[in-house]
Amino acid sequence: MHEFVVSALRRFPSELAALYATIPGAHAAWAPPSWEGIPSERFTAIEQICHVRDIEIDGYQLRLRRLLEEDNPLLVSIDSERVARERGYPDAPVKQIFEAFREARERTAQTIAGLTESQWQRRGVFEGYGPVTVTGLVHYLCSHDQQHLAGLHWLLGKMASEAA
């Protein structure tokens, strides 16, 4: 099971980049008239990929490190909308976003691939989720990846519907 998860995590940056490449350039920061039904955060396409990069580094890498190094840590949630405003997501350079994300994800995958069975069971509390193990946190990361692929597909659907 662990090999499957590590493989999925390693594939995701390419999947995200390939899907993002289908977003028309003029629509990178496009926002729909209504966000009703979006399966991810209410972020434009460029904001989606910035968020994925930052949550990898400031969220999941930090949480994973704390689970591995501390006894029963409290893993705080991140105010993603505040981070987006502070870091100017709409103006971020796409190439650098993907480079930084690929590097960060590979570090995450290397860490996870080297875990012992006892490390997979280390525990903490994830704010908003409750008790969590390393295994659970990694599955949440995989779920988060899928939410943002779905968010980009949703935006593409909205773009197509608005253009029709």
pLDDT of amino acid 2: 86
pLDDT of amino acid 164: 66
Q: What percent of the chain has pLDDT over 90?
A: 96
- Per residue in 60-80, pLDDT (tens digit) is 999 999 999 999 999 999 999
Determine the average pLDDT of the residues in 33-52: 97
CA dist 94 and 15 (Å) reads 15
* This prediction's pTM: 0.95
pLDDT of amino acid 45: 98
pLDDT of amino acid 163: 74
Give the chain as a 3 state SS string: CHHHHHHHHHHHHHHHHHHHCCCCHHHCCCCCCCCCCCCCCCCCHHHHHHHHHHHHHHHHHHHHHHHHHCCCCEECCCCHHHHHHHHCHHHCCHHHHHHHHHHHHHHHHHHHHCCCHHHHCCEEEECCCEEEEHHHHHHHHHHHHHHHHHHHHHHHHHHHHHHC
CA dist 118 and 58 (Å) reads 24
Determine the average pLDDT of the residues in 116-140: 97
Inform me whether the pLDDT recorded for 131 exceeds 80.
yes
pLDDT of amino acid 128: 94
